[in-house]
Amino acid sequence: MSGKLLIFVLLVCSFLLVVDSRRPPIQHDNVEEDCEEDDGGGYDSDGRPNRVGATRPPATRQRAEDDWDGVEEPTDDDYLRYENTNQEGICLLERGKCPQGDWRMFKRHNETVCLKIYGAPYTIDISTAAKVCREQANARVMTVDSDEERRWIYSTPLGGNGSYTMMFIAGNRNRECKANPHVPKCADKNTAFTQSDGTSDHKYIYSRWAPTILNRFLFGGYDDCLAFLTYPHAISIDHAVQDFTCDKHTLNTVLCGVTVM
């Protein structure tokens, strides 16, 4: 009896093994990895999901082609190209540009500059004038270098409205002539005043000077600064420059400038 029972048990086990071997395998659902857990971020700076197992290469900005690459100093042909393509006097070169606003670019003997006239509703001294320029694009007080610049001055709201007949420009009486302005050397404008604007050769400014140095004594000192005549003085007048007091008197405006290249 025990032998028959053993045979029966063996037959049952064999049957179960056959049935189990014919059963299709169980398909387990694939569980995706959690990007946030793996990469610590989830999304990049542009809002795109991070990729697992790969590092996104840094974005590179496409640089525009520049036909001035390798050109250190603009040539006359380059300036001519600028003048022919900017008939409205836009302050823009491919290697430099004026500060934002209604600045105007001029080519001088050795430099290119951008100029703008700034003013105040009250009279200013030369220190305030210089501060106004510094606060505007880190500019400095500049001189007038040509008839072209003079015509532009007369076309501006502050240089051509008749309310401000003169403005501060660069230049000051030198230390020796401040102490004794009446010695022969200091009676000559070419030696009495220091031209501080290094972008100009100053030939124009000396050729437009009044016949004599005024040497007025105001506010406890002589006229140690320079003023440039604007409208309503005729633009054709030769004597457009004169020595003027550095203190607050009648000037509200100043010629500011920056070097472009």
Per-residue pLDDT at 26 exceeds 70 = no
Could you give the residue ranges of the DSSP H alpha helices within the chain?
2-21, 35-39, 76-85, 126-135, 147-155, 175-179, 189-192, 203-207
Per-residue pLDDT at 87:
46
Higher-pLDDT residue of 13, 190 = 190
Residue-wise pLDDT for 62-114, tens only, equals 433 333 333 345 555 555 554 444 444 444 444 578 998 899 999 998 899 99
Residue-wise pLDDT for 34-54, tens only, equals 333 334 444 454 444 444 444
Residue-wise pLDDT for 156-201, tens only, equals 999 998 999 999 999 999 999 988 888 888 888 888 998 889 999 9
End-to-end CA distance of the chain: 116
Asked if 160 and 214 count as a contact pair (C-beta separation under 8 A), the reply is no
Least confident of 57-66, 97-106, 208-217: 57-66
Mean pLDDT of all residues in 214-241: 88
Residues 6+ apart with CB under 8 A from 129: 141, 168, 251, 254
Buried/exposed code over 110-131 (b: 16+ C-beta within 10 A; e: otherwise): ebbbbbbbbbeeeebbbebbbe
Per-residue pLDDT at 25 exceeds 60 = no
Higher-pLDDT residue of 141, 216 = 141
Average pLDDT, the chain: 76
Provide the whole-model pTM: 0.64
At 31 the three-state DSSP class reads coil
Query: Confidence band (pLDDT; 50, 70, 90) for 31?
Result: very low
CATH superfamily entry for domain 95-259: Mannose-Binding Protein A, subunit A (3.10.100.10)
Question: What are the sequence ranges of the domains in the chain?
Answer: 95-259
Query: Confidence band (pLDDT; 50, 70, 90) for 211?
Result: confident
